[in-house]
Amino acid sequence: MLLPPFVTEATGAALADLIRHEVPKLGRAAGHLLRQAGSRSAHEIALLRSFGEDLLRDPPETTHSVDYVSWHEDDLDWRAGNGVLMAATFGEIPHIWTDQQTCVPYEARLRRFIKSGGMVQRVFVLKSELTSLDARRRLFTVLRRHQMLGFDPKVEIEQRAKRLFTVNCDTIACLNGRISYLVRTPRNEPPVMVRSTRPALSWRIHSQVQDIWDEAEPADRLFDRYGREELALVEEEAEAQARNVDNLERYEAERQTAV
């Protein structure tokens, strides 16, 4: 690509990265203002349609997009640590859970929820994560980190879980059967998330995750099947990552207390 003489390749790359990450945020910010006015932006309509046409029938205050990384849920149950967040995650190990810029802020919020008394139950639905030592190492690092943080990870094989999964996205999650979250991870772009309080949708998501959870196996059983030697290879890395999450959670908690 030809660049103006005053723009270096490094500056151009930095600018491209800024545009890729910040422009979607501007679109979501505009969407928030429109929701307050009772309407949706073209960006919001396209995003909701990509998850399912039925979402467009919900009013904006019921179903809308939220920012995955900077999102902070202000629901009373979240703030008080009441209840259970249940989630089923498909193929997101390389896109979210091994990307420290993305997963650390999100896990810090989940860590705060747990420290306040809540529970997090996540099923990692597996496809190619067990096919090689490198892939298993990434998976085992994430699972072990989640155990250290107090989450309750399970695993399930894709072929069994897919028959229970009826939403067009990469992750489904639900808080206490009344707030549902749909997440997709576009290639080379930040994750996109939709939040909904529509009772029928939230209960459907809750039921699907519960069914997958009931059939899944605990992470420890997977570790035993592949040998604890492989787990030992990731223990130090998982511990360092969990410490980063804990440090951020404490920093944000202290900052909020100071305010």
* Structure tokens, 58: 């919900």
State the Rg of the chain over Cα: 19
Residue 196 lies in a domain: yes
Q: 7: which residues sit within 8 A by CB, 6+ positions away?
A: 15
Residue 119 lies in a domain: yes
Report CA-CA distances (Å) from 245 to 89, 95, 109, 259.
Answer: 20, 18, 9, 21
Residue 172 lies in a domain: yes
**DSSP, res 95:** I
- In the prediction, which pLDDT does 87 show? 94
Residue 140 lies in a domain: yes
- Each residue of 193-249: pLDDT tens digit? 999 999 999 999 999 999 999 999 999 999 999 888 889 999 999 999 999 999 999
Longest dimension (CA), the chain: 60
Domain that holds residue 237: 62-258
Residue 139 lies in a domain: yes
Residue 40 lies in a domain: no
- Each residue of 19-76: pLDDT tens digit? 445 544 544 444 444 444 458 999 999 999 999 899 999 999 999 999 887 776 888 9
Predicted confidence band of residue 95 (pLDDT cuts 50, 70, 90): confident
- In the prediction, which pLDDT does 255 show? 86
Burial class (CB in 10 A: 0-12, 13-18, 19+), 240: exposed
Residue 36 lies in a domain: no
How far apart CA 154 and CA 141 sit, in angstroms, is 14
Helix (H, G, I), strand (E, B) or coil at 118: coil
Q: 203: which residues sit within 8 A by CB, 6+ positions away?
A: 177, 178
Write out the DSSP string of 204-217.
HHHHHHHHHHHH-E
Low-confidence winner among 77-81, 125-129, 219-223 (lowest mean pLDDT): 125-129
**Residue 204: count of CB within 10 angstroms of its CB:** 17
Q: Please report, for the domain that includes residue 141, its CATH number.
A: 3.30.870.10
- For the cut 90, the answer to whether the pLDDT of residue 107 exceeds it is yes
Residue 251 lies in a domain: yes
- Each residue of 158-184: pLDDT tens digit? 877 766 666 778 899 999 999 999 998
- Each residue of 185-194: pLDDT tens digit? 887 788 899 9
Helix (H, G, I), strand (E, B) or coil at 138: helix
How far apart CA 139 and CA 124 sit, in angstroms, is 9
- In the prediction, which pLDDT does 128 show? 81
How far apart CA 203 and CA 223 sit, in angstroms, is 32
**Number of independent structural domains in the chain:** 1
